[in-house]
Amino acid sequence: MSQDDLARALRDVGIPGASKRLVQRWEAGTIGSPRPLHARALERVTGMPIEALGFATPVPIARVSGDGRGGHDVTSTSVGVPSEGAAATPRLAANAGARGAYSGVWLSRYEYFSSGRDATYMGLHHVVLLQHGNRLTVRSLPGSSDSPLTMDLEVDGNVVTGSWNEQTASDGYYRGARYHGAIQLLIEPTGRRMVGKWVGFGKEFDVNTGPWELVLRDASTSKATLEQYNRPAEQDGPDGRG
């Protein structure tokens, strides 16, 4: 991409002030670390993590991690570094989702405990996420799992809240049973990962909960991209990469 091309692509994903001059300042090292919102846009445009883009100083972004007490916190992953005149403290992009920036193909991964088998299992799906304002609709690709999954969510700043619904495979352990419940996730400021908890009922109608995360795989929803990910999600590694 030329500098003009990169600036244009950044504007297309919701950075209206992106210019060739800004790109030049990044490349020259005049700005050693981009703002968190700009870092997120750069990841989205280049398809690479911000850590791999060659900035001279750590980017002051945040990640969602377990707090050791069953919940999740948003915590800084680097020493605070002033970026483009901004404060060093990581800032949540409260309005980042207003322009449809979350649409794409995501890896959905959740864990659940099976009392009948006395073991913990993982549910994996490739899902298509479409954003309309602050509403997110999530539908699994038919070839990614034999248990179709849907989610209807709402974005409020960096918090996602909504419901989930899964129809288990008719020839599987749960013999076609339908399960549903609630979910709440925290969005990492890069916009590439959402992490939180699900709540739902079990076979004996007891209320259960467990971890759930969505990891961005591709920002495109083109026919070619959907065909690429219309395959079993078990082929993805533990970090969400193929």
DSSP per residue, 23-47: HHHHHHTSSSS--HHHHHHHHHHHS
pLDDT at 96: 41
pLDDT at 148: 95
Residues 6+ apart with CB under 8 A from 90: 36, 60, 61, 62, 74, 76, 189
Q: Reduce the DSSP state of residue 50 to 3 states and report it.
A: helix
| β-bridge partners, 110 | 123, 212
Say if residues 57 and 33 touch (Cβ distance below 8 Å).
yes
- What is the C-alpha separation between 114 and 183, in angstroms, rounded? 19
Say if residues 20 and 4 touch (Cβ distance below 8 Å).
yes
Low-confidence residues of the chain, pLDDT below 50? 79-99, 237-242
pLDDT at 93: 37
DSSP letters of 81-130? --BTTB-SS----TTGGGGSTT-EEEEEEEEEEETTTTEEEEEEEEEEEE
The number of CA neighbours under 13 Å toward the Cβ of 227 is 3
| β-bridge partners, 85 | none
| β-bridge partners, 193 | 215
**How buried is residue 32: exposed, middle or buried, by Cβ count under 10 Å (0-12/13-18/19+)?**
middle
pLDDT, tens digit, for every residue of 151-210? 999 999 889 999 999 999 888 888 888 999 999 999 987 788 999 999 998 777 788 999
- What is the C-alpha separation between 194 and 58, in angstroms, rounded? 22
Residues 6+ apart with CB under 8 A from 73: 64, 65, 66, 67
Give me 91's structure tokens.
């800032």
- What is the C-alpha separation between 84 and 32, in angstroms, rounded? 8
pTM, 2 dp: 0.64
